[in-house]
Every structure is written in C-alpha cells, then in structure tokens.
Structure 1
C-alpha cells in the first residue's frame, strides 16, 4: 500500500485493474486506492506479469502492506484454492406478529398537538393507545405509533420523457462525492464574505511580468501568497480539527483547488507563508499542472489548514465553497469586477474588486477568528508589494 499523502496511514483497495497472469507494462494502472482524501490510480513501477493478488477489493490495509506479487519469469501461476462448499442457508423463522391496540369507538381523546401530528404523519388515532389520563392520546404517543408503523410502499417517481441514463462515476468522482457529502454533514460551516480592491495588485503584476527573470504571475499565485502570509502572521489560526480536538500545524501550507481531467484535486503548496510570490509561482505551477493532468504525486496532497478555490475565469461574483475534510477553512474567489464606489468627497470612483468568501469549520474557528483571518488576507491583497519578497 503506497503512502499517497503526508497524513495517510491506511487505504482501501477499491478496484484491481490487473489480474493474476496478466502482462503489464511500466506505467500501466495496477489498482485504485481510496484514502480519506481522494482516490488514486497506482501505476506499475516496472514491466512484468502479475503473479498473485493478496488483498481483496474493499479491504482497508495499513501503508506498506504487500498487495500483490510479481510472477517470476518461467514460473507457473499459483494454483487456485478449491472452492469451499456453500452451506445451505436456513430459512429464518417468521417474526411474531405485533399486537395492535384494540380500535376505540367514538371520538378519541387526544391533545390538539397529537391530532395535528396524526394528520401530518398519517396515523389513525383509533390505532393509538394513549398514555395520558383516561387514555388521553399525547403527541409522544403519535410519534411512537408513527415510528412503529410499517412504512408504506412508495411508488417510484415517473421518469420524465426524454430523460437520459444515469452515468456511472469514476472512482475519483465517487470519492470526491463521498468526501463532499461527508464534509457538509459533519463540518459545521459558517461563511464570511467581503471584497478586495485589486487595482494596485493587477498593475504590479503587469510590471513584474515584463521582467525577464520573473515567472508568469496569475491572480491565483497572489492569493496563495496572501493566504500563506496571513497564516504566518496569525499562526494561531493554522490549525485543524483532528481526533476530537484541535491540532496546531504551523507549516503555513496552503492548498489550491484544481479541476483536472480525473476530477477535483487540491494539491498543497508547502510553506507558502515563507515564500515570495515569484517563488510561489515557480512551485505552484508544477503542482497545478500535475493535478490538471490527473497525475498528482503522492506527496502533492494532504496537510494544510486552508485551500484557495479560484473560479474567477467564469462569470461568477462569489463562490461559497465547502471546507475540505481535514482542513479548517477554504477561500472561495470570484471574478474581478469594475464597480463605482464613493470617494472621500462622495464622488463615484471606479474600482476593481474581487469577491471573497471564507468558509470555516466552526469547531476550529469562531466568527471573530474567521473575520481576523479574512481581514488579514484582504489587507495583504490590497498591499501587494509586501508579497513580492519572502518575509524577513
């Protein structure tokens, strides 16, 4: 089992692409591993023949576990174990029929709330045994009867005319779907939104692009620089939820969301808070290109308290993102807009603004923490000269 991230300790084999006796070439996909971060295709390190598979699909095993063996050239494939006879399954005894309360005649004594709940739940009050004085039916009795009743068969919803077939997800897409669903269900999100004025940043970016030894800078590079520097200046916010408590990191690592050929991936730029923007551009681009091609390295993922998700190339003003499991916050970035704002004298002044939304894990950060972190990010974006060189 390969180590596909700094925090990975185990993985699940979700698919075998190669079978015993199959000839594979170096670079062929052997199997797919899913971690708590993402699903990854693992390639053959050399050419050869698969001799034996040791771990079944669905098994969770620690990092370093041997999953399969190569077959030595000229050796015969291992014999298949004899199939064990399958014992005949016993028919389970039918469960005893529940005893229904005797129907009552006439008007049923029930509280107004119990009657309303009975209408909502579709419960016949004649079948409910009241627990109140003189058999009065209370709301709790209706709830109990509703929970104990056999569910009514639900007719399948009609399929609209012309509806297409359901497409199966790839392992990577399925892993992302599970992680995002779990994130929304398990992480208590809160959101903070603001705008950053980027006229000075964009002008500085054009000047730096003209320098022969400066890499091509993009807005994403400045955002990574600003978020990393904010974590360096506010180290008390570089932390995540882990094992029922808060784990402090201190590495100023920042992820960047990339929509690649095999799905969404967020490689992590290590030590972003200790780098200037040109250094960030030089280190981030290989990460982004590998993620776009669907071939991230094992060390590209995992770690970091915060990710940047920039959808500014689309006509989107604000992005309200979902916090990645294992992190504490994510910065959603929209497009740059030209807007008029009043100056000190109340006259309209043209500004170039960037919409920002910071989503936070409320178990780790409170509202004041999030506001302080977002405010520091904005102040760095609006004073971009501070991001050109590494911090002293």
Structure 2
C-alpha cells in the first residue's frame, strides 16, 4: 500500500486552538519537497505559510479554502513513496470535506439555486474569486423563484393606474473573510469568558508633552510618542507590582518571568497587538526603539507568531484619532489592557488654589477579575499616573533593588 503522511493544522501560538485554511499552494498530484509552502493558515492574529515536512506527492486535500479547522486536524495527505500516478485516487477517504470546485458563500448558492443560475457562469468578486451574493444578483439571480407562465386572458377594461410605490431599498450585506470571522469570535469569547472590570484615572501630562517636544528636537534620536511614555510607564510600574504581571492559565495564576507590553496597532488585516519584550530595565529611548521596530513589522504584515504571544498587559491608544477615551477588551491570554485617549486641556488648581490650564490624559484600565482585584488595579493605575506625571525619571534606568 502507498505510504501516506498526514499534515495537520499546526499550533502556532500558546493560545491558538484553531486556524483558517486561507489558501492552498498545491493541488492533488503535485510533487513537493521538504520546505515547500503547501498552504497558508490565518489565525485571529497573523497569517502563516506552512511548509511540507517531507518530500512527497500530494494525495488528498482534506479541507477547502476558508474552512476553520481545530489544531491537530488533518489538512493534507502526502504520498511519501515518490509515485505520482494515481496519487489522488488511491488516497484513503476521510470524513473531512473535499474542496469545492466553485467557491461561493451560502447565500450566493441559495440565490443561484432559486433562480436556476449555474454558479460556473458567475464571476466572483470576493477573496480568491469567492462568489458573493451581489455577484449572483448582478446576473439576475434575485433568489426569488420565477412565477409559472399562464395562458393569456382577455384584457380587462383599463383602470386608472394607482400611484407607483417606490422601489424597496435593500441593505448591503458584507461577507466576512476568514480572518475577520475568527477575530470576531475570539473577541466575543474574550468578552464573555473573561470577567472584566474597569478602573479610570486622569494623568496630568503637561510636563511630559514639553519633555517630549524637547527630546524630539534632538537630531538622530529615536522619535518619542505619547505611547512610548505610556509603555515605559507601564513597564516601570510593573516592576513594583508583580501581581499585575500575572495571567490566568489552566485554572491557575501564572506570574511571568519578564516584563512585556503589547502595543495595539492597525495592520493590513485589522488590529493586532504585538508584544514589546523585556522592558523591566529599559530606558525611555530603548522602549521607544523596541516599540517602533515591532510596530513597523506589524504595519508591514511581517509579524511572526512569537511577536503576538506573552505579556500580561497591552496598550490601546485612540488619541491620534481625537477620541478622548476608550474602554478596551482584554486580549485573550492576557489579564489587562490600558485604554488611552487624546490629551484634553483642563483647568486644575495649582498649589495656591488658582485655576491653571493643564493637559490631562484619560486612562481606562480593563482587568480580569480572576487575576486582579479592584484595590490592586486602582493602586497600579495611580502608580502609572505618577510615572507619567514625573516622566523625566523614565530617561534613566530604574534603581536596582537592594
């Protein structure tokens, strides 16, 4: 009998439980060498090219593009005896679906069936040529069955025509891509399964903004953003609050060995939160440089799976859009996330009680109540505010603990 080797859906990260088979790179009967890319997997975080583990002939594809498969599910079978003939025919049948010749959404298939329209004659406008509902509608497939023809009857007397009703306005239905479906489900699970609570505080960053302007005026230095200061303040504060550097894992609390901070950024396929690592002893410039490198990879779509793993906390900043605040959802696998808005001019009393115009940053800390209690969260957030309000201390390394 032919020697078959199964290739399964890989586990590409600690929190990954399933992935989307986004694209096939091979077909049954193709010869592949070890290291050749055979398919692409999308998770809610990243796309990954999966390579053939051995030399062989593709015997069977066990899933279609767009299928969501659990980790460990068989994706492809390879013949490893090097005989291309009858490779596809001799493969052992499996229970998983065979890829369809025509890729179409369920709604598009129903509309085509009702209209008696052959999907093979419809050009798809969706990802990788997927046929969408609007593609069928454009070919006259409204989804309503055609009325049967009746014999002609004598014409009745002509009556006045009633007012013509306006044509109904139809909503536009947008199909989700595989990445969007998985991300939406993961966020829904996070909001449902993680017991969120929220703590709010305001930080006076008037001095921080002046310091930032001064430092950014120096040539040849890394550019500092408000996010640079926030990430550095979080990392510095976590040194004194190890209980905040914990996550919920396998019904236990895991305290992380390093201080890492996730940075939410808009990538080519949506929002991701790559992790900037080992910031416990970093200066402000070092935090900014590390964050800049990770964010650049995210925006270019070049993140690796390990870039999205680890860390107990992330930052999500909407200040650049003019929004004054945000209450974010915790990223699965972490225990908190800090929402940051735009600085707002606010009058505050000085030491003599006189009103002084200051720049105030609104912060919202979302916490996992299984890991963090309200008192700890409140103390931690106030400590972060103190770090931001005395931002010059972030220019030096933290003092070594005796």
Q: Taking structure 2 as the reference length, what is the TM-score of the superposition?
A: 0.69
- Distance in 2, Cα, partners of 1:79 & 1:30: 17
- Distance in 2, Cα, partners of 1:14 & 1:344: 62
Which residue number in structure 2 is paired with residue 41 of structure 1? 47
1:273-328 per-position Cα deviation (integer Å, ceiling 9, x unaligned): 22111111211112112222333112111111101000001121111111112111
The more displaced of 362-371 and 208-217 is 208-217
- Distance in 2, Cα, partners of 1:348 & 1:226: 27
Q: Secondary structure at the match of 2:351?
A: coil
The reply on whether 1:166 has 2:173 as its aligned counterpart is yes
Which residue number in structure 1 is paired with residue 305 of structure 2? 298
Aligned positions, number: 312
- Distance in 2, Cα, partners of 1:23 & 1:384: 60
Query: Structure 1 244/202 Cα, relative in aligned 2: closer, same or farther at 3 Å?
Result: same
- Distance in 1, Cα, partners of 2:80 & 2:174: 37
Q: Given that residues 15 and 332 in structure 2 are in contact (C-alpha distance below 8 angstroms), is that contact kept between their aligned partners in structure 1?
A: no
Q: In structure 1, which of residues 163, 181, 192 is the aligned counterpart of residue 188 of structure 2?
A: 181
CA-based RMSD of the aligned residues comes to: 3.3
Q: Secondary structure at the match of 1:341?
A: strand
Which residue number in structure 1 is paired with residue 369 of structure 2? 362
Q: Secondary structure at the match of 1:255?
A: strand
> Cα offset for 1:27?
10
The reply on whether 1:372 has 2:379 as its aligned counterpart is yes
- Distance in 2, Cα, partners of 1:233 & 1:335: 27
After TM superposition, the structure 1 = structure 2 runs for residues 166-245 of structure 1, keeping only pairs within 5 Å, are 166-245=173-252
- Distance in 1, Cα, partners of 2:291 & 2:222: 11
Query: Structure 1 8/326 Cα, relative in aligned 2: closer, same or farther at 3 Å?
Result: closer
Q: Secondary structure at the match of 1:194?
A: strand
Query: Structure 1 352/80 Cα, relative in aligned 2: closer, same or farther at 3 Å?
Result: same
Unaligned runs of 5+ in 2: 1-8, 96-166
- Distance in 2, Cα, partners of 1:356 & 1:340: 18
After TM superposition, the structure 1 = structure 2 runs for residues 43-192 of structure 1, keeping only pairs within 5 Å, are 43=49, 51-52=58-59, 56=63, 57-62=67-72, 69=78, 75-76=84-85, 78-81=87-90, 161-192=168-199
Unaligned runs of 5+ in 1: 87-159
Which residue number in structure 1 is paired with residue 12 of structure 2? 4
Q: Given that residues 235 and 250 in structure 1 are in contact (C-alpha distance below 8 angstroms), is that contact kept between their aligned partners in structure 2?
A: no
Which residue number in structure 2 is paired with residue 351 of structure 1? 358
1:78-104 per-position Cα deviation (integer Å, ceiling 9, x unaligned): 1324897x9xxxxxxxxxxxxxxxxxx
Which residue number in structure 1 is paired with residue 257 of structure 2? 250
- Distance in 2, Cα, partners of 1:368 & 1:241: 18
> Cα offset for 1:55?
5.5
- Distance in 2, Cα, partners of 1:284 & 1:27: 32
> Cα offset for 1:10?
5.6
The reply on whether 1:32 has 2:41 as its aligned counterpart is yes
- Distance in 2, Cα, partners of 1:307 & 1:292: 17
Query: Structure 1 166/206 Cα, relative in aligned 2: closer, same or farther at 3 Å?
Result: same
The reply on whether 1:271 has 2:278 as its aligned counterpart is yes
- Distance in 2, Cα, partners of 1:322 & 1:50: 45
